[in-house]
Each structure stands twice: as C-alpha cells, then as structure tokens.
Amino acid sequence: MAAASRHSPESTGALIVGAGSGVRFGGAKAFVAWRGEPLIWWAARPFARAGDIGQVVLVVRREDLEEARSLLGRLGCPGQALEGGATRSESVRRGLAALPPSVNRVLVHDAARPNLSAALLRRILGEPGPAVVPCLQLHDAMHRLEPDGLSSTVDRRGVVRVQTPQAFDRNLLEQAHAGGEDAADDAALVERLGIPVRFVPGEEENLKVTTPEDIRRLERFHAGMLVGHGYDIHRLAAGRRLVLCGVEIPSERGALGHSDADAATHALMDAILGAAGLPDIGHLFPPEDESYRDARSVGLLADVVARIGGLGLQVAQADLTVVLENPRVGPYREAMRQTLADVLQLPTERVSVKATTAEGLGAVGGGEAIEAWALATLRWLPR
C-alpha cells in the first residue's frame, strides 16, 4: 500500500460533478451505462473504496437525483446527492456548500472519468500542498487553427494536459470560487489567485469520456482475456469424507489430503492462479502449515478470488471435469455449480461442472483415486 493519506476520513470530502448536459456526447454523460453501471458510479467508486474519504457528494441534474441517491446506496459510502448548477463551477460551489464543517480537504472529480485507479487517487491524497492536480505530458506537436484557414505552431514546452481528481484545501477552493467565476476546472480558478498548483503524474487511462468513441477506448483498456489450466489428483481411502466443489457427497471412500481434499476446487484454484500468473496453491497454502488442516477448500478459493481482485482481475468463466469411478456425481452437479458460482461471484451458467468415469482404467478406474481438471478464464476489472 502506498503512503497513507495524512488526512482523516472526517476531514476529506469528494465532489463528483456530473450535472452537464453532454452536448458533445449527445446526452447526459454521467448516467451513460458502461459495464452495467452509469459512468458516475464508476467515477465515485474509487473514493467510496479508498477508506479515508468521509463524504462523497454527487452533483447531478435534477432529473438524475433519485438515481444518484440509489447508486450512493449501492456504493455503500456516506454521502449525498445534490442538484448542480448551470455551469461546472456553479455545481462545484453547490457541492462545496453542502460539505460538513469537519471537511477541510476537498477532491473534485469529473463524473465522466470512470477509470481512475486507486494508485492515482493515493498519489494525489499523499501529496502535500494546498492544490494538487494530476497532469500528462504532451507528445504530439500542437498547432492553432486560425479562422482564415492558416495555422500556427504552438510551443508545447511547459504545456501539460490536466485531469481530475484535483485536491484542494477547502479554504483555498472556497476562496477561488468566491467570485462566482466559471472555468474549465478548479485549478484554473486557484491559479487566478496566484497560488502555485502542485502537479503529479496523471494516467492516460483516466480519460474523460467526451464522445461515444471514448466508451470504445475505455473498453480497449480492459480488453483481453487470460486463460489458466489446473489439474489435481487425490487418493481415495475409507473413513474420509468426499467433498467436491464444496459439496459433501455420500461415499464409502473419500479423498485423502491435508485440507478437505476437494480435488475439483484445487484444480480450479490452480487454473485461476495460473491465468493470473501467481504461484500455485501448494505455495500459497502450504500443506505443512497447520492452519490449513481440514480447511474448507472453497474458503481458500474465496481467498484466491480476492487475490486476483487485488491485481484487477475477476473470473469470467470456469469449466471443470471430475473423473471418479463411483459414486455418481450427477445428482450433486447443480449444487456444486451453485457453490462455485457464489464464491466466484458469477451467474451459474458461467460455471460448468462435468463428471465422467475412467471406464475402469488405471488408478482412477480402479477406484483408488479421484482426478479433476479445470479451465478458468479471467477478465480485467474496470479500475
């Protein structure tokens, strides 16, 4: 974890401004759906998850107030939804006025920036100074188009592109807005006071959705699937339980192992870890570690899901095959799928569990062992 913020949750507030009509987008952008949620939900989510931001204020159009309140509830963070003004700056002023007196540092973020990373938010929160703003270097040559059809070159030295969230001491931001002026962003108003703004490196992925093409650009940041494969085999012995995908199956013989010896879940965990490029379960949950004795393997699977979540990944789909001579697994198949789907946070139809016998061949066919194979597909989470 990066350096912690020097500010307590009660003292830090976030304003997410999304009251614009989205002229260049052809409709209000803040509530355009992306991956099942409005852009403003994605924009607010990093603040809700940061843990050290006490108030998240959504400033939206009057007709969007109800939906904004509902999504605050889904984000599970303290906050409020407010009606914005005719300009972006007026919306910020309304949000500022609504913050509790305990708030002395304010982050202002565009509702149309749904891809802010936790790392960039940390960087901004960790930077000292009364005004902290993320920016990007310009690499393309810049020309100014003149009305007469000619153009002139702009000297790009010292020119940067400015993003949000921008962090300010509350007093300073209130002072910057006291004149009721309008500006493209809050840093511009602070600069007019002659206060130096501290710039930190922004992120290209933290783009502002301005046109429908930008939604496609967002998708490209999250394109690509990862695939992993897992295999496991356990000896069968009398007096042991037989657990598969977290479901206990009545059987005279069960699987031998240090944990509950759930071979299917072990194969699945290795498939997920393999796709994510992480060490296998033998490394993560060593058998010599007594804390894993008789551990429920689907509990370890939940741990694996959380680990890949930390890398920005989630399971998109899982496909398992269990090879067992007897008993028949078929009657328990739906319960097994459902148990895995719950842990993987997937609809049941994205989890497949198949069972077959070994036709009497080899150790598995002779009833001495159970075998399991798994494939897992992972996708990148929006950040």
Cα distances (angstroms) measured from residue 103 to each of 123, 129, 152, 165, 234:
20, 16, 46, 16, 58
Q: List, in order, residues 6 or more apart from 18 with CB less than 8 Å away.
A: 28, 29, 30, 31, 39, 40, 43, 58, 59, 60, 64, 84, 110, 111, 112
How many residues bind Mg ion, per CB under 5 A?
2
Distance in Å, CB of 158 to Mg ion, minimum = 60
Stretch 178-217: interaction string toward Mg ion, x if CB under 5 A: ----------------------------------------
**For Mg ion, which stretch binds (CB under 5 A), given 68-76, 244-252, 260-268, 317-325?**
260-268
**For Mg ion, which stretch binds (CB under 5 A), given 13-21, 265-273, 335-343, 368-376?**
265-273
Distance in Å, CB of 286 to Mg ion, minimum = 12
Distance in Å, CB of 293 to Mg ion, minimum = 14
266 makes contact with Mg ion (CB under 5 A)? yes
Residue closer to Mg ion by CB (options 105, 266) is 266
Contact 41, 112 (CB under 8 A): no
**For Mg ion, which stretch binds (CB under 5 A), given 101-109, 212-220, 231-239, 339-347?**
231-239
Q: In this chain, which residue has its C-beta nearest to Mg ion? A: 266
Distance in Å, CB of 263 to Mg ion, minimum = 5
Tell me phi and psi for residue 69, to 5 degrees. Answer: -65, -40
Residue closer to Mg ion by CB (options 110, 232) is 232
Q: Under rule CB under 5 A, which residues in 128-157 are in contact with Mg ion?
A: none
Residue 272, H or E segment = helix 263-276
Least Cα distance to 39 among 64, 62, 63 occurs for 64
Cα–Cα distance measured from residue 139 to residue 171, given in angstroms and rounded to the nearest whole number: 35
User: In the numeric block, which tokens belong to residue 210?
Assistant: 């301005």
Radius of gyration over every alpha carbon of the chain, rounded to an integer in angstroms: 27
